[in-house]
């Protein structure tokens, strides 16, 4: 059934703050001597998430899951446009036919940004009313992959094994690929599109599956990286133009760069916030790494130590580039 919702929409200007990535620089003097971390969208989102670089408009799209908002930030003007979604929003992904597709509550909705309207396309987890959509991304063919999770009492304290991973085809048919997921996170694909990288955060691993781009079938699950003590929970992730992974570490205050072929950590980028949630490459030549963060669940003393919690950061000087994102074909 289709339903229409009219959310509120507004534009604000945001301030920026800069920090140098001293710790990371010290860890790896030669490789990272010119790495710079800037806070570009200073905003206390509850759960900033799902950054996507929109090449056509040179803007960064991201969501605030618990804050129930979709944001678009322009580096050129430093303006941010925001839209309220009226429920949690796990992701927003550009749609080939225009606007976005977003995961609002348990509904996959079409977002008409210029009219500020949402139209529900299809629901998932209909038998699990407490569940909600979490991270989602379009595959290279334009299929939407999106996961769900159970009710979260406090960040990471979730009703276990309630989530699933789905794909939504262009005709809006839905396929369930995985069930018994704790917190569905982290999607991206290898350069040859034959592998999907996936994260169920509470498993503390980054996994890979064989992926068939023509059918969307997933098989042969294996672990490519196991989180080390102090690294936090693996969360959102992006694959760079060399095929290496950049994994945001929730409660780890860092993004780690992994070679999935060897399972080794190549670089570490330390951020001035602990709840780093996701990342994507963007900018005119895809050499800027954008990193989102969360503030939900921080106690007051922690917030005073991390005043930028919930903000979005830009990391420059990594010496690698990313790839353009894909749009949903439905
Ligand atoms: C998830 C959120 C979750 C948070 C902490 C994030 O990556 O996307 O849904 O609340 O991690 O668990
Ligand atoms: Ca996430």
Atom 4 of ligand 1, residue of closest alpha carbon: 155
Average pLDDT for the chain: 92
Quick one: pLDDT at residue 33? 60
Q: Which atom of ligand 1 is nearest to the CA of 235?
A: 7
Residue pLDDT, tens place only, 273-303: 999 999 999 999 999 999 999 999 999 999 9
Position 5 scores a pLDDT of 44
Using most ligand atoms within 8 A of CB, pick from 45, 46, 49 the residue to mutate for ligand 1.
49
pLDDT at 149: 98
Q: How many angstroms separate the CA atoms of 182 and 156, rounded?
A: 9
What pLDDT is recorded for position 268? Answer: 97
* Stated pTM of the model: 0.91
Q: Annotated catalytic residue: which of 64, 135, 235, 240?
A: 235
- 249, 250, 273: residue to mutate for ligand 1 pocket, most atoms within 8 A of CB: 250
Q: How far is ligand 2, taken at its centre, from the CA of residue 155, in Å?
A: 11
235 among known catalytic residues: yes
Task: Give ligand 1 pocket residues (Cβ under 6 A).
Answer: 47, 49, 65, 134-135, 152, 155-156, 183, 185, 235, 250, 277
Going by CA atoms, what residue is nearest to atom 9 of ligand 1?
134
In this structure, which residue's CA is closest to atom 3 in ligand 1? 155
Q: Which pLDDT score is estimated for 3?
A: 42
Best residue among 63, 182, 235 to mutate for probing ligand 1, ranked by most atoms within 8 Å of CB: 235
Q: How far is the CA of 291 from the centre of ligand 2 (A)?
A: 12
Positions of the chain with pLDDT under 50:
1-30, 32
Tens of pLDDT, residue by residue over 77-94, are 999 999 999 999 999 999
Closest ligand 1 atom to residue 65 Cα is 9
């Amino acid at each position: 059934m289709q339903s229409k919702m009219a959310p509120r929409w507004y534009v604000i200007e945001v301030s920026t703050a800069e920090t140098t990535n001293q710790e990371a620089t010290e860890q790896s003097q030669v490789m990272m001597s010119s790495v710079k971390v800037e806070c570009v969208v200073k905003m206390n989102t509850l759960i900033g998430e799902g950054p996507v670089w929109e090449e056509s408009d040179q803007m960064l799209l991201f969501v605030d899951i618990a804050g129930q908002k979709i944001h678009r930030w322009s580096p050129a003007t430093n303006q941010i446009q925001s839209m309220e979604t009226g429920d949690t929003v796990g992701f927003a992904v550009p749609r080939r036919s225009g606007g976005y597709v977003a995961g609002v509550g348990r509904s996959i909705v079409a977002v008409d940004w210029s009219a500020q309207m949402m139209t529900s396309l299809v629901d998932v987890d209909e038998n699990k009313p407490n569940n909600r959509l979490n991270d989602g991304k379009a595959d290279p063919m334009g299929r939407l992959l999106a996961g769900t999770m159970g009710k979260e009492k406090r960040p990471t304290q979730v009703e276990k094994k309630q989530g699933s991973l789905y794909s939504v085809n262009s005709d809006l048919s839905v396929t369930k690929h995985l069930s018994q997921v704790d917190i569905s996170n982290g999607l991206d694909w290898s350069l040859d599109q034959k592998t999907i990288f996936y994260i169920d955060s509470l498993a503390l691993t980054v996994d890979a599956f064989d992926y068939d781009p023509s059918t969307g079938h997933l098989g042969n699950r294996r672990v490519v990286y196991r989180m080390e003590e102090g690294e936090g929970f693996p969360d959102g992730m992006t694959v760079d133009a060399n095929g290496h992974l950049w994994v945001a570490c929730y409660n780890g205050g860092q993004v780690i760069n992994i070679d999935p072929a060897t399972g080794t950590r190549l670089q570490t980028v330390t951020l001035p916030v602990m709840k780093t949630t996701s990342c994507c490459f963007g900018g005119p030549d895809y050499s800027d790494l954008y990193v989102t963060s969360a503030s939900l669940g921080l106690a007051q003393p922690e917030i005073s130590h991390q005043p930028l919690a919930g903000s979005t950061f830009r990391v420059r000087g990594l010496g690698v580039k990313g790839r353009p994102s894909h749009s949903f074909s439905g």
